Amino acid sequence: MKLSPLDISIIFGYIVLTVILGFWISKRASKNLDSYFLGGKSLPWYMLGLSNASGMFDITGTMWMVAIMFIYGIKSAFIPWLWPVWNQVILMIFLAVWMRRSNVLTGAEWLKTRFGESRGAKMSHISVVVFALVAVIGFIAYAFEGIGKFSVMFLPWDLTTTVLGIYISSERMYALLIMGITTLYVVKGGMYSVVLTEVLQFIVMTISCIIIGIIAIKLVSPEQLDAVVPEGWKSLSFGWKLDIDWSTFPQDINRILNEKIHTDGYELFSIFLMIVIFRGILVSIAGPVPGYDMQRVLATRTPKESALMSWFVSAVLFIPRYLMIAGLAIIALVYFNPDSLVSEGSLDFEKVLPFALSNFIPAGVLGIILAGLIAAFMSTFAANVNAGPAYIVNDIYKRFIRPDASSKTLVRLSYLSSVLMVVIGITVGFFVSSINSLLQWITAALFGGYAAANFLKWIWWRFNGHGYFWGMVAGLAASLALPKLFPDLSVILAFPLFILPLSTAGSLLGCLLTPPDDMKVLKSFYTSIRPWGFWEPVYREVIRENPDFIKNKAFKRDMFNSLVGIVWQMMLIISPIYLIIREYKEMIYSLIVLAVTSVILKFNWYNKLEND
């Protein structure tokens, strides 16, 4: 597709504005590591929340979600539980407060609060640094694949070239250019640049989503949609199986759609959902992986603000994002053209989003929307680039190599580390062929390997640094090795069958075959973080010294609020979908449930947040 001069001007004007803004505020980031990676812990919670929401509003994930909405209909709202999206609910209810009370710079440094300075603590520290770097590299590769696939559909120039005898397609060249531009302002400006540019990007993205929603409502009538979607596509309910059969689709594509459902592993939807719920509970209580989400929690001014920031992410993210997702999906369904989805001789459903945009959005408006989608990519990419180097600089160089290094030296090393992370992530991205396969590996395998050790560290006093190290090593090794050893095994099934048992065995054996951690460290952690769980021996020691200490008895309230929060979050997702497909009765029901759950959370969660 050839963009109009107006569209190209809007896109390039936005990119230039973003880079200028990033450089303009970069001086504030160069004071020290706390300023560079956490914005000096001075940024308001609502700005951090908008920034975090913007980082999650990535173009690669949006392409995937439009694709699954196209295929699975409203039931596709359950599939992101793989991540799990509940993570933000658990954070807002109690976990963000626990994390922020540690007052540290990174997730690896946080382990010092939990395990102290023992040998096991140092081993656990190394394991989480390695995990964080692997996760960041995986996300950069994921972003690289998505932005290239997206850009080549719209930008008009053929950038195909050969460098040192290596053929580089236009798709890859566009990805390299856009990632290079984003790296400039991230490296220079650190957290300040990332947050302030992400606030701008979120505003642009929200405007784009509303425009797409309006266009979809005008272009697609309920009758047109009913004529092309199978029975069950517009329903949130399901049986033992998915109960969607594309055999009636009026194109020659119905067989491929049914095969896609089978190969994705979602056909037995009840089994899939049971695995996802079980995994979601473990992974959510384990907490966010050591990346940009955790970094935003640690960057808030107080523990209470960390909870509000996590609430704000869900409150502002889902309605605009799903206006776009549902709008583009129904446009693509009604005006379907299989030739536009062909990639390397086969159908690529991740091109549904570019197909809908390129054919049905008018000039000028398309430029705004494309600027918004590029903004979404830049947000996610920037957040990961800023998060990863903190582990290299703070948790490797400063801790083990030069503890006395000056702030100026550490900030300069942060620049170099950021560039290094980008180069490695892009290199990995050259070997990725599918957004869906990489996303499933990150969410189901990699994050699954993180779950056991990080779940146990919160709730069990006897869990020590050795247990954490061996649990993380076993989980990381399983997530990296299984795709090679069993390439045909679904990563969704790999979690309960292999990854969780191996990481749990590593955690328990490493823990029980070594002595407990120092009671002094455990008492310090328990009194400052104040978790609930199996902490009775530590609690007895604490009240012996401090009889006025109040035990955390909020477990039942936190679990109830978490359940209410999951329902609240789901209503934020499905209500805009019902609006776009004109199922007004279901939309009203979802809004009523949203209002009721909001009132419950106001009185049973917000009013009871502590002012630390």
- pLDDT per residue as tens digits for the range 519-546: 999 999 999 999 999 999 999 999 999 9
φ/ψ of 163, rounded to 5, equals -125, 120
Q: Which residues pair with 342 in a beta bridge?
A: 347
- Dist CA 544 CA 565 (whole Å): 37
- pLDDT score, position 342: 57
- Dist CA 270 CA 259 (whole Å): 19
| First-residue to last-residue Cα distance in the chain | 55
- pLDDT score, position 106: 63
The H or E element containing residue 166 is strand 166-168
Q: Which of 568, 468, 60, 111 is nearest to 294 (CA)?
A: 111
Q: 220: helix, coil or strand? A: coil
**Does the N-terminal peptide bond of residue 84 adopt cis geometry, omega within 30 degrees of 0?**
yes
- pLDDT score, position 36: 46
Residues of the chain with pLDDT under 70: 1-2, 21-42, 55, 58, 60, 104-109, 185-197, 248-252, 288-293, 338-347, 375-376, 378-380, 382-383, 386-387, 432-448, 491, 611-612
Question: Are the CB atoms for 510 and 469 separated by under 8 Å?
Answer: yes
Topology, domain 5-433+554-608: Sodium/glucose cotransporter (1.20.1730)
Residue 586 tokens, joined = 């279901």
- Dist CA 47 CA 203 (whole Å): 12
Instruction: State the pTM of this model.
Output: 0.82
- pLDDT score, position 213: 93
Name 379's Cβ contacts closer than 8 Å, sequence gap at least 6: 51, 54, 55, 57, 58, 197, 198, 201, 202
- pLDDT score, position 165: 72
φ/ψ of 162, rounded to 5, equals -125, 125
- pLDDT score, position 238: 81
CA-to-CA separations, 360 to 65, 279, 323, 334, 610, in angstroms, rounded: 19, 39, 16, 11, 50
Residue 575 tokens, joined = 């209500």
Residue 69 tokens, joined = 């909405």
CA-to-CA separations, 562 to 28, 37, 536, in angstroms, rounded: 37, 30, 24
The per-residue b/e assignment along 406-419, b for 16 or more CB within 10 angstroms, e otherwise, is eeeebbebbbebbb
| Size (the chain), residues | 612
- pLDDT score, position 383: 65
